[in-house]
Every structure is written in C-alpha cells, then in structure tokens.
C-alpha cells in the first residue's frame, strides 16, 4: 500500500485541455458581454447598467462552462472515446501496478443516520448479492456505520444487520457499528471507521443509504485502483433511479439522457483532477487517512465549525497531497435515489447550500491545486448563481423602468444633425437566442447522443417518445428553475444572516406533497411573482412580457409542486413511455433484485415498539447487549439511569422521551436489569405493566 504521495510525470495533455476550456468560456463570455455592452452603452453606461453587465458576465460564464462541458462530452460520445483515460495509465507513467487479485481488501462502508432500515437492508442485500456473482467477493467486507439517534431506528438497524449477517454468513463479512454521538456528522463517521479499522483495508467504497452498486462496477473499481497506484479516488457518477413521482422521473430522465455526456465532458476537462461527490466512490484508505483529516473551521456556524460538505474538501486535500482523483464516466452500475418532490429537493439543497457556502473559508486554503479551487468555487457558484440571477432580474427591471421614463432627444444642442434612435433589436434577439441555445443545446446534444446507440435510444422509448420526454422535461425545468432560484436565493440569505441547518433525515420514499405543505413552502414565491408581475405590468408593460417565462413558474408554484409530487401522474407517464429510462425499460439485475426485496420487505405490524422488545424479548435484548460497548458510568449517571428504570416500571415506555430511551439503550447494565425486571414481572403474574408482559 503506498504510504506517500507520488506524482507521476504526466503528459501536458490535461493542461492543454483545461486551457482550451478556459479559452472557450472566456471567449464566449467576452463576446456575449460585448454584445450586451453595446446595447446598454448606447447612451453611455450608468452604474445600474454596469451592474447588469457584471452579473450577466458572471452568469453567462457559469452556463457556458456547462455548455462546453456537454459539447466536449458529446464529441467524445460521437467518437466513442468515453472513459478510456484511466486504463493502464500506470504503465504509461512507469509505475508498477498492483497485480489484480493479489488480495487487496476493500471495505464497503455505509454511513447511516436515522434512515429506513428496511430500505437500507434491501439495498445492501442487492449490492452484496450482485457482488457474490463475481469471484472476488471474498476480498470485500461490509460495514454499516450507524449514527442513528432514534431508538426505534437503532434497534431496527441491529435486527437488519443480524439478518444480513446470517444471510451472508460464510460468504462475506457484514459488520455493524453504532456511535452514541454523531460527532462531525458523516465525515466524522467515516473518519472513525478509518481510525478504527482502516488498517485492515486497501480501499473503501463509500455508499449512501440509498446507494446501489453492482458487483461488476465494484470489482472494476478495485481493478482500476490496483492498476493505477497513483490514483487516490475514483468517483462513479450515480444514476438516479427507482422513484415514481413526476418530479423524480423527470429528473431521472434528464440524468439518464444528459448526464452521460456531461460526465464525459467533466472527465475530459479535469482528468486526474476531478472531484468527489461524497458516495459511490472508491477511495485508497492510506492516503485518505494521512491527508483527509478534516479540522473544525474557525468561527461559529454557519461558516465555522464542522465542515458539512466534506467531499469536495477531501478531494482537494488528496489532490494537494499529489494523489489523482478520477471520474469514471464509462462505468455503469452506480445508482442512487433522487428526492421525490420539489420540496424534498429544496430541503436537500438547503443542506448542500450551507456546506458549499462554507467552502468560502476553504477555497483560499494554502497549497490547494487551482483545479480544486475551481471545483470549490463552482460549488459555491451553484448557489450564488441564484442570487445573481435574482439580482440581474431586479436590476433589469429597474433599468427598464428608467428607460421607460426617459424620452429620446432627437436634437442635441450644438449638433446640426438629428440624433436618430438606433435599434438594437437584432443584437438583443441574437443575444437571447445565444443564451437560450447555451441553456438548451446540451439537452439536444444529449438527445442526439441517444441516436449513437440504438439500444440506448430504444430503452428511452424510441426517437418520438424520447423527443416528447425531452420537450416535457424542458418545459418542466423552465417552470421549476425560477422556483428553485427563489428557494436557493432565500437559503443563501438565511445562511448569510447566520442561520445554521440541522442534519435532517432525507426523505427517500415517494411521499407526495399535500396542498398544505405546498402552500407553506411556496406562498412566498407566489406572492413575490405576483408583486413583480403587477409592478412590471403597471409601470413597464414591455418588460412584463419578457418576464412572463420567469414569473409563470413561481405564480403556479403551489399547484405545480403538488402536481409534480404525484406518483400516479409519474406512473401514468411511465405507461405512456414518457420519461422512460433504461433502468425502467430494462432494469439491470441489481435493481430488479432491489425492487423485489423492497416489495417483499413489508413492515412488521409489531404489537409493541422495538424498545419494549429490546427489554422483554430474549433475542432482541441479547442482540442489542452484545453490540454495546461497555463504558464506566459516573455515580450521577447511574442514578439518572436508575431513575429512568423506575419511571419505566411505573409508566411504561410512554413515560420516557426518545433521548431517555436512548440513554437506557446505551447502557448494558440498565438493559440487563430491565430485561431481568421484565421477566420477573412476567413471572410474578398479571399485576405487571402491560409492555413487559405483552411479548411473552
């Protein structure tokens, strides 16, 4: 296992590619800014117009980067060159690769926090079953790393682990670890794994609670790591799958059609300086342990404290230490589940927004590679762009108002010739057309890329249905983009105002949005859009019509949010072949297996809670006790726990809060005593509290 960073002598090709990207983005932005500048500077540039020009330049550069990335990806697909760059690079670089199959050990790690244990188990079973179909399964171990705080979830996880442990006994080791306190959140959870068991493994594959990876993909990742000892991390782009709501299916379709060319483009530009997205990636453990220990940032939250979005920072730290980070755009078999509704998407965005804005403290850190700074900057910009867009619209409205109040003077004093107004309609229309092309051409390129692979085209429903899906997806994104802009702008403002975010659990099933939820989330958007529409219609009617595409989404946001969350609409579209993806039309075996396992895993209608079962049921109690680590308790802690036991005896489980149940569950002594007391009560006859006797 390499312990030190090494930087092989690489050809200058990546630098050339990045220079090309820089030139393309700069030239496009420069051209667009010049055209807008010509229009605005007809009567000299005011401060307002300078602001518009600056914001437009920033936003144009932002969308142009995505545009050129998609173009590069499309060209790569056209010539069939995707994902060929990491293969056998070690030979070219003169590094001895590790012979494959000489016993490199890989840990699949899944950090979880109050996730649905049934879904977690089904996903892991499907992944492990797929892995067992390949011969190298004996080199993999699975770790479920729980930070769950909900007592019921904690106990359900233990049972899920016990079933996994039995199912894969003798084939593959499945481990479970629960941390009583979720220090440093997910990154702390992974760090604790590395610190405790990192010595056992060469690589670790990080999985999210909704991640699914095929055995073939996992084995290929290990093989690539073996062959490329200079690589510290390989990220596989996760394909969103399995959700059925309209919103989620439109996202799944977009990711399936436009995602591959975008990922190829990213991989082409960044090569070994790519980024890490937090899961569905393989990491070399030794350099990760040596170089990716995350410190607490100075200052208070939301900018200080624990690093929330750890993935970008870890990739930057690996790069700083000389390790390569790759995006394996050619590997399939990596999946995740998207948020089912617009509101869930926004909730996830709120968390990511704070994490990315926190990178303002990291982006200037000493020694980081320029490309890592670019990744961090792009993460920040993905949220700031919403604020800039909002500001651009506001300033444009004010400029339109100013223009409307200014009369053109045909005769200027001292000038013999009349000052005829000059029309810039052509320039303005051209600029609009270019902007729209830059926004929508990547979608068309994604659609055209389908025609390069007949099977892929058919799997998306054929040319007509895929085209209709593209139109519907574009229409949906036109309507939803301004709503997301308002969401993100409000998140940025609230974070800048110093409000932090809790580590909330992500909604991972198809829960639909109710009218009340939609109204609570979107009333503000509707009012803002109505106000902006009324003001522009009254004072600048010409501007109002330009603004309608942006206003329509927020005005309709409440019914739109409710409608797009509906599963029946998503299913109906599936029946019609709209938004069809290969994972729906011809699901890979690992996803079929997962779907079957989820369908089979019906929730058990237990008469008592798992907490009560952990007290009364001999097996559940034993399982829990054996997984606890024994800690010495102070006298006051012991008194507190004894008081809780007494209260439980008096009032049952209902008399305890969730935190108090967690306290009892964390203490082996208390759980043994409660189990004994329960059985004494059962043995004593009917005059015992219900919860204790029900199980027996």
Query: In this complex, which beta carbon is closest to another protein, that of residue 81 or of residue 171?
Result: 171
Residue from the set 99, 101, 103, 367 that interacts with another protein by CB under 8 A: 367
- Residues binding another protein: what is the number (CB under 8 A)? 62
| Placement of tokens 């200080």 in the chain | 304
* Peptide bond just before 302 cis, omega within 30 deg: yes
Q: Which stretch binds another protein (CB under 8 A): 97-105, 360-368, 529-537, 558-566?
A: 360-368
**How far apart are the C-alpha atoms of 605 and 616, rounded to whole Å?**
17
Contact yes or no for 309/198 (Cβ under 8 A) = no
**How far apart are the C-alpha atoms of 664 and 661, rounded to whole Å?**
5
Considering the complex, what minimum distance in angstroms separates the CB of residue 358 from another protein? 11
**How far apart are the C-alpha atoms of 406 and 37, rounded to whole Å?**
19
Contact yes or no for 249/627 (Cβ under 8 A) = no
Q: Which stretch binds another protein (CB under 8 A): 170-178, 497-505, 545-553, 598-606?
A: 170-178
Contact yes or no for 580/469 (Cβ under 8 A) = yes
Residue from the set 294, 401, 441, 595 that interacts with another protein by CB under 8 A: 294
**170 is an interface residue for another protein by CB under 8 A:** yes
**365 is an interface residue for another protein by CB under 8 A:** yes
Residue from the set 227, 236, 239, 362 that interacts with another protein by CB under 8 A: 362
Residue from the set 91, 642, 643, 647 that interacts with another protein by CB under 8 A: 642
Query: In this complex, which beta carbon is closest to another protein, that of residue 493 or of residue 696?
Result: 696
Rg, Å, the chain Cα set? 29
3-state secondary structure of 339: coil
Residue from the set 394, 682, 688, 694 that interacts with another protein by CB under 8 A: 682
How, if at all, do strands 106-112 and 203-206 pair? parallel
Considering the complex, what minimum distance in angstroms separates the CB of residue 193 from another protein? 9
Q: Alpha helix locations (H) across 79-106? A: 89-92
Query: In this complex, which beta carbon is closest to another protein, that of residue 122 or of residue 317?
Result: 317
Residue from the set 118, 165, 609, 694 that interacts with another protein by CB under 8 A: 165
* Contacts of residue 455, Cβ cutoff 8 Å, sequence gap at least 6: none
**677 is an interface residue for another protein by CB under 8 A:** yes
Question: By CB under 8 A, what part of segment 187-216 binds another protein?
Answer: 191, 194-200
**45 is an interface residue for another protein by CB under 8 A:** no
Q: Which stretch binds another protein (CB under 8 A): 148-156, 430-438, 577-585, 623-631?
A: 623-631
Query: In this complex, which beta carbon is closest to another protein, that of residue 128 or of residue 486?
Result: 128
Which residue from 245, 427, 273, 267 is spatially nearest to 337, judged by alpha carbons? Answer: 245
Contact characters 99-138, another protein, x per CB under 8 A: ----------------------------------------
Which residue from 330, 291, 295 is spatially nearest to 314, judged by alpha carbons? Answer: 291
Query: In this complex, which beta carbon is closest to another protein, that of residue 197 or of residue 503?
Result: 197
Residue from the set 3, 12, 94, 366 that interacts with another protein by CB under 8 A: 366
3-state secondary structure of 455: helix
**How far apart are the C-alpha atoms of 298 and 134, rounded to whole Å?**
47
**2 is an interface residue for another protein by CB under 8 A:** no
What φ, ψ does residue 340 adopt, rounded to 5°?
Answer: -75, -25
**299 is an interface residue for another protein by CB under 8 A:** no
Report CA torsion sign: 513, 514, 520, 523.
Answer: positive
Query: In this complex, which beta carbon is closest to another protein, that of residue 290 or of residue 574?
Result: 290
* Contacts of residue 114, Cβ cutoff 8 Å, sequence gap at least 6: 148, 149, 150, 153, 505
How, if at all, do strands 324-327 and 239-240 pair? unpaired
Residue from the set 17, 348, 679, 688 that interacts with another protein by CB under 8 A: 679
Considering the complex, what minimum distance in angstroms separates the CB of residue 287 from another protein? 11
Which residue from 176, 153, 149, 151 is spatially nearest to 165, judged by alpha carbons? Answer: 176
**494 is an interface residue for another protein by CB under 8 A:** no
**458 is an interface residue for another protein by CB under 8 A:** no
Query: In this complex, which beta carbon is closest to another protein, that of residue 181 or of residue 502?
Result: 181
* Contacts of residue 438, Cβ cutoff 8 Å, sequence gap at least 6: 28, 60, 63, 64, 67
**179 is an interface residue for another protein by CB under 8 A:** no
Query: In this complex, which beta carbon is closest to another protein, that of residue 198 or of residue 265?
Result: 198
How, if at all, do strands 140-146 and 173-178 pair? parallel
Query: In this complex, which beta carbon is closest to another protein, that of residue 290 or of residue 401?
Result: 290
Considering the complex, what minimum distance in angstroms separates the CB of residue 27 from another protein? 12
Q: Which stretch binds another protein (CB under 8 A): 214-222, 261-269, 651-659, 675-683?
A: 675-683
**How far apart are the C-alpha atoms of 153 and 117, rounded to whole Å?**
7
Q: Which two tokens stand for residue 625?
A: 């006790």
Residue 148 CB coordination number (10 Å): 21
Which residue from 22, 41, 21 is spatially nearest to 33, judged by alpha carbons? Answer: 41
Considering the complex, what minimum distance in angstroms separates the CB of residue 223 from another protein? 25
Q: Which stretch binds another protein (CB under 8 A): 125-133, 147-155, 476-484, 664-672?
A: 664-672
**How far apart are the C-alpha atoms of 484 and 345, rounded to whole Å?**
9
Contact yes or no for 116/204 (Cβ under 8 A) = no
Considering the complex, what minimum distance in angstroms separates the CB of residue 605 from another protein? 19
Beta-bridged to residue 174, according to DSSP, are: 142
Query: In this complex, which beta carbon is closest to another protein, that of residue 29 or of residue 386?
Result: 29
Query: In this complex, which beta carbon is closest to another protein, that of residue 161 or of residue 447?
Result: 161
> Site residues (CB under 8 A) for another protein?
143, 161-162, 165-167, 169-170, 173, 175-177, 191, 194-200, 289-295, 297, 313, 317, 361-362, 364-367, 616-619, 621-623, 625-627, 630, 642, 645, 668-669, 672-673, 675-677, 679-680, 682-683, 695-696
């Amino acid at each position: 296992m390499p312990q030190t960073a090494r930087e092989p002598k690489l050809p200058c090709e990546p630098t050339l590619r990045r220079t090309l990207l820089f030139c393309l983005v700069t030239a496009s932005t420069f051209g667009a800014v010049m055209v807008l500048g010509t229009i605005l500077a007809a009567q000299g540039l005011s401060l307002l117009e300078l602001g518009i020009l600056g914001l437009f330049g920033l936003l144009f550069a932002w969308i142009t980067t995505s545009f050129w990335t998609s173009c590069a990806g499309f060209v790569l697909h056209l010539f069939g060159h995707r994902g060929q760059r990491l293969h056998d690079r070690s030979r070219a670089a003169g590094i001895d690769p590790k012979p494959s199959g000489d016993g490199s050990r890989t840990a699949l790690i899944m950090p979880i926090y109050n996730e649905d244990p049934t879904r977690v188990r089904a996903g892991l079973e499907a992944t492990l079953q797929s892995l067992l179909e390949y011969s190298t399964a004996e080199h993999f171990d699975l770790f479920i790393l729980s930070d769950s705080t909900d007592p019921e979830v904690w106990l359900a996880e233990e049972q899920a682990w016990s079933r996994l442990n039995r199912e894969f006994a003798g084939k593959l080791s499945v481990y479970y670890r629960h941390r009583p306190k979720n220090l440093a959140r997910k990154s702390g959870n992974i760090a604790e794994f590395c610190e405790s068991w990192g010595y056992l493994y060469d690589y670790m594959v990080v999985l999210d609670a909704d991640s699914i990876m095929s055995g073939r993909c996992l084995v290929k990742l290990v093989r690539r790591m073996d062959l490329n000892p200079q690589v510290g991390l390989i990220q596989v782009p996760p394909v969103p799958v399995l959700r059925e709501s309209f919103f989620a299916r439109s996202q799944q379709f977009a990711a399936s059609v436009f995602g591959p060319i975008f990922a190829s483009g990213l991989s082409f530009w960044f090569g070994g300086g790519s980024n890490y997205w937090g899961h569905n990636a393989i990491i070399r453990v030794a350099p990760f342990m040596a170089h990716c220990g995350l410190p607490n940032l100075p200052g208070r939250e939301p900018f200080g404290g624990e690093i929330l979005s750890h993935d970008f920072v870890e990739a930057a730290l690996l790069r700083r230490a000389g390790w390569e980070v790759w995006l394996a755009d050619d590997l399939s078999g990596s999946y995740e589940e998207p948020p089912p509704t617009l509101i869930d998407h926004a909730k996830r965005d709120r968390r990511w927004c704070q994490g990315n804005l926190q990178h303002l403290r990291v982006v200037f850190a000493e020694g980081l590679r320029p490309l890592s700074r670019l990744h961090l900057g792009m993460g920040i910009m993905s949220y700031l762009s919403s604020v800039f867009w909002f500001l651009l619209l506001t300033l444009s409205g004010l400029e339109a108002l100013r223009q409307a109040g200014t009369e053109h003077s045909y005769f200027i004093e001292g000038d013999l010739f009349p000052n005829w107004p000059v029309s810039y309609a052509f320039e303005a229309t051209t600029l609009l057309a270019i902007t729209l092309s830059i926004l929508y051409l990547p979608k068309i390129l994604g659609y055209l890329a389908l025609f390069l692979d007949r099977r892929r085209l058919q799997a998306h429903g054929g040319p007509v249905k895929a085209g209709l899906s593209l139109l519907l997806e574009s229409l949906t994104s036109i309507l939803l983009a301004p709503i997301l802009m308002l969401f993100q702008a409000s998140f940025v403002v609230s974070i800048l105002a110093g409000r932090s975010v809790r580590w909330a659990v992500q909604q991972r099933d198809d829960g639909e949005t109710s009218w009340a939820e939609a109204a609570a989330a979107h009333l503000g958007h509707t009012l803002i859009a109505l106000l902006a529409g009324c003001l522009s219609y009254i004072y600048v009617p010409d501007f109002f019509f330009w603004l309608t595409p942006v206003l329509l989404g927020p005005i309709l946001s409440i019914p739109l949010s409710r409608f797009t969350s509906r599963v029946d609409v998503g299913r109906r579209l599936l029946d019609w072949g709209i938004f069809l993806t290969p994972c729906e039309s011809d699901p890979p075996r690992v996803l079929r297996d997962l779907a079957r396992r989820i369908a089979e895993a019906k929730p058990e209608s237990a008469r008592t809670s798992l907490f009560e079962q952990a007290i009364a049921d001999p097996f559940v109690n034993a399982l829990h006790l054996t997984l606890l680590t024994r800690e010495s308790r102070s006298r006051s802690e012991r008194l507190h726990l004894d008081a809780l036991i007494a209260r439980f005896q008096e009032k049952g489980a209902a008399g305890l809060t969730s935190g108090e149940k967690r306290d009892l569950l964390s203490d082996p002594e208390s759980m043994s005593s409660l189990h004994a007391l329960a059985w004494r009560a059962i043995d004593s006859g009917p005059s015992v509290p219900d919860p204790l006797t029900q199980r027996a």
